Amino acid sequence: MSAVLAHLAGAIAPASAAMAEARADDGPLAAWLAGARHAPRPTLARRTVVCVLADHGVVATGVDLGPTHPTLRAAQSLVDGEAGVTAAARAVGAALVVIDAGLATAAPRPAAMIGLGRGPSGDLATGAALTPVEVTAAVEAGAALVVALAESGLDLLGLGGLGAGADLAAAAVIAALTGGDASLALDDGRALVAAGLATLPPRPTALDVLAAVGGADVAVMAGAILAAAATYVPVILDGTTALAAGLVATALAPAAGGYLACAHGGGGRAAAAARTALGLTPILALGVGHGEGAGAAVAMAALRASAAAP
């Protein structure tokens, strides 16, 4: 672990049990918010949803589809205001930030995207999704993003993502960190996930797991969680990739778990395993969107109501 990450992880204080207890009679959401914000009646005026886009080499075709690349088209829809998460964020008064953590095309990106200047992750089936240097850089980039957002005010953060192979990488990370296996992945990806998990060393660290079978999207979100927790900003996890990032963050800094909530109950076996490991109950009973952040935006409305409860 780099000195920056070690300092960040060490700076995270546990959520305030006293503040949570003060709002216990108002329900679990109000109590969680009070504990995470270290305030009995926290303001949630400044809300941001971050959608991290990244492709993964495990599903690479070797063909650059250019402007028709699915992840790039999704990115364009996000920044053009045509995606569901955009509408949901707008409805709850949340800002939407779109991150390019590595798309598998050289085609021009939308100008409104924040790029990390990297390509897609490697093939997790070979145990080489990222180099250790890439892992550290991506986690630190996620932390730096939240620090930058906090400069203009940040009270509540939602995390989501999408990309080719993202669910496979997230399932592999979740399996590795929960003691699960390839059955957490969808049927057509289980052999690939099993191959990747077989490359892990005995008792791998969370950073080892990111390097072998993770991706820049998971790493960026993990860094964002660490920085948010260090600054008392609660985080809503939306989708399997964000839940995988939650596991990574809490492996690096267990106290970060007190700042996490889960948007909804969708996402399949891998998401369910991650929610169980993190001890999270979904805010919304039904699946919302596709893990790209729409569920986090919708959940923000429930949290605002809970925070304002008399």
Confidence at residue 286, expressed as pLDDT on a 0 to 100 scale: 62
Active-site residue (options: 21, 82, 151, 292): 292
Q: How confident is the model at residue 26 (pLDDT cuts 50, 70, 90)?
A: confident
292 is catalytic: yes
Tokens 């969708």 belong to residue:
266
Least confident of 264-273, 275-284, 289-298: 289-298
pLDDT at 29 over 50: yes
Asked if the model's pLDDT at residue 287 lies above 60, the reply is: no
Local structure of residue 56 (DSSP, 8 states): B
Q: Residue range 123-135: average pLDDT?
A: 94
pLDDT for 156: 95
- Only one residue has tokens 């800002």, namely 95
Do residues 306 and 284 touch, judged by C-beta distance below 8 A? Answer: no
The CA distances from residue 110 to 78, 98, 162, in Å, are: 10, 10, 16
Query: Over 70: is that where the pLDDT of 292 sits?
Result: no
Q: What is the pLDDT of residues 141-197, one digit of tens each?
A: 999 999 999 999 999 999 999 999 999 999 999 999 999 999 999 888 899 999 999
Q: Between the CA of residue 190 and those of 84, 110, 123, 272, 283, what are the distances in Å?
A: 29, 33, 14, 17, 29
Cβ distance 260 to 182 under 8 Å?
Answer: no
Give backbone dihedrals phi and psi of 235, rounded to 5 degrees, phi first.
Answer: -125, 130
% of the chain exceeding 90 in pLDDT: 65
CB 237 within 8 A of CB 260: yes
Q: Is the pLDDT of residue 18 over 80?
A: yes
pLDDT at 27 > cutoff 80:
yes
| Tens of pLDDT, residues 239-275 | 999 999 999 999 999 999 999 999 988 888 999 999 9
Write the burial class of residue 164 (CB in 10 Å: 0-12 exposed, 13-18 middle, 19+ buried). buried
pLDDT above 90 for 234: yes
Average of per-residue pLDDT across 30-54: 93
How high is the pLDDT of residue 225?
99
Question: Predicted confidence band at 310 (pLDDT cuts at 50, 70, 90)?
Answer: very low
Chain mean pLDDT for the chain: 90
Q: What mean pLDDT comes out for the span 208-236? A: 97
